Amino acid sequence: MAMLATFANTFKIPELRKRILMTAGLVFVSRLISMIPTPGVDWQTLQVELARIRETAGAGGGLMDWFNVFSGGALNQCAVGFLSIWPYISASIIIQLLTAVIPLFEKLKQEGESGRVKLAQYTRYLTIGICVFQSFALATALQNPASFGLGNVQIVTRPGFGFNIMTVICMTAASLFVMWLADQITQSGIGNGTSLIIMINITSRLPVAIIEAWTRYFGLGGISATRSPIELLLLLLFGFAITMGTVMLTQGLRKVPIHSTRRAAGGGGNTYGMQQTYMPLRVNYTGVMPIIFAGPLIQFPSALLSRIPAEIEWLMWLKWLGAQLSDMTSPIHLSAYAILIMFFAFFWVATQFNAMQISDNLKREGSYVPGIRPGRATAEYLDALMTRVTLIGGTGLLVIALVPQLLRGLMELPWEMASFFGGTSLLIIVGVALDTLRQMESHLLMRNYDGFLKHGRLRGRR
């Protein structure tokens, strides 16, 4: 009841109510874009072919299911919003990584607001390039369905160069419009617009997962149940436990004590006092980036290797390897997935966590870690500490990432169901939900309303 009363209080604050309604309206528009079919595409034929592939691929249809979940179902009708916000996210990740290796970008990052504006412009330019490339590749695939694993059917009603141009224009414009909607949500709404649109795309598949679960455990429309409802109860309990673990991983911090001298004028001269604070090191410093990198990095090579003609006998071992990589339950796929996740966890920290810069900033501000000499010794201490924290966070991330694939393999769960029990989907949902609640809570506390949890503070912030 207290939680419901808190949500009711959010609509008593005019500014917060306006932000929530603004966010809901913009999200609704972004969902509409993901439902408008691309002109010239027979999306009904495409749906039939995608359904056939899912039935025959078994556990190996991971790449297609991944696209469908994160596009909010836009793949089924090849919507103009199929690319959604992902080109912008890809461009942001590329610019962020280049900042660590290109001095010009590093200098812009250190220039403050003006530098961030220039980096944002570069990110948008790169987004346009990625949109053009991806939409052109998709238009080519739609006109040659047999070459990409689809049947020998005609999906494009009028193939040709004109269809390529029209698809590029439609999808690029739709992706840029979604990017603009995300910016408007961030500025005038509640929460981070980019993250919120991704979360809505993922959760839009929840009704499909519920229908599949009901059909599986209770039967629906003449289809008999195939599993016991007791399995569903155990799944719900397991889902609750894995969600709690995801929240703990997302909110987990390693607090590094920091002592700093505080100067104050008083009496006949200057006096100095000691102030103790801490530096928070996030356990899951990398967020969902290792999973986002690892998934396509396995699926794309497997999709290419599976296209090797059967006539080339001496390359059959590569074709077999591609089949093993595409099978989410195979030991080779799980091992490669685990190795890539741990590699990218440490790689992301190595490129984004600058221990020497943090040490220099502490020294400049008159702060230090107790028992550690300022300068290089502090940098080495922070680097070693972050390595241990990353090992713990990466292991937790690995467990969460493997859960959906193990459930799909061991219990033969449909991907729409299994994806909500871990992996990128659950991490994004939990992270975005907590961030949005923090922003709503700050508005409530400023106006003397209770927050969403006791003492008006989220548990992870105490």
Work out the angle between the directed axes of helices 193-203 and 423-446 (0-180°, nearest 10). Answer: 130
Place of tokens 């008593």: 12
Q: Give the domains, in start order, of the chain with CATH numbers.
A: 236-421 (1.10.3370.10)
Write down the pLDDT at residue 149.
61
Task: Reply yes or no on whether the pLDDT at 366 is more than 50.
Answer: yes
Task: Give the separation between CA 73 and CA 258, rounded to whole angstroms.
Answer: 48
Write down the pLDDT at residue 55.
63
Task: Reply yes or no on whether the pLDDT at 16 is more than 80.
Answer: yes
Write out pLDDT tens, residues 41-88: 887 888 777 777 666 554 344 566 667 777 777 777 788 888 888 899
Residue 116: what residue type?
Answer: R
**DSSP output for 339-384:** HHHHHHHHHHHHHH--HHHHHHHHHHTTEE-TTS-TTHHHHHHHHH
CA distances to 13, 107, 392, 436 from 447, rounded to whole Å, are 8, 40, 39, 18
Task: Give the separation between CA 47 and CA 174, rounded to whole angstroms.
Answer: 21
In sequence order, the β-bridge partners of residue 282 are 253
Write out pLDDT tens, residues 440-461: 888 777 776 665 555 444 444 4
Write down the pLDDT at residue 114.
84
**DSSP output for 274-330:** EEEEEEEEETTTTTTHHHHHHHHHHHHHHHHHTTS-TT-GGGHHHHHHHHHHH-TTS
Q: Provide the percentage of residues in the chain whose pLDDT is more than 70.
A: 88
Task: Give the separation between CA 200 and CA 198, rounded to whole angstroms.
Answer: 5
Task: Give the separation between CA 74 and CA 54, rounded to whole angstroms.
Answer: 16
Write out pLDDT tens, residues 371-427: 888 888 999 999 999 999 999 999 999 999 888 888 887 888 887 788 888 877 888
More confident: 424 or 268? 424
Considering only 176-185, 274-283, 298-307, 405-414, which range has the smallest mean pLDDT?
A: 298-307
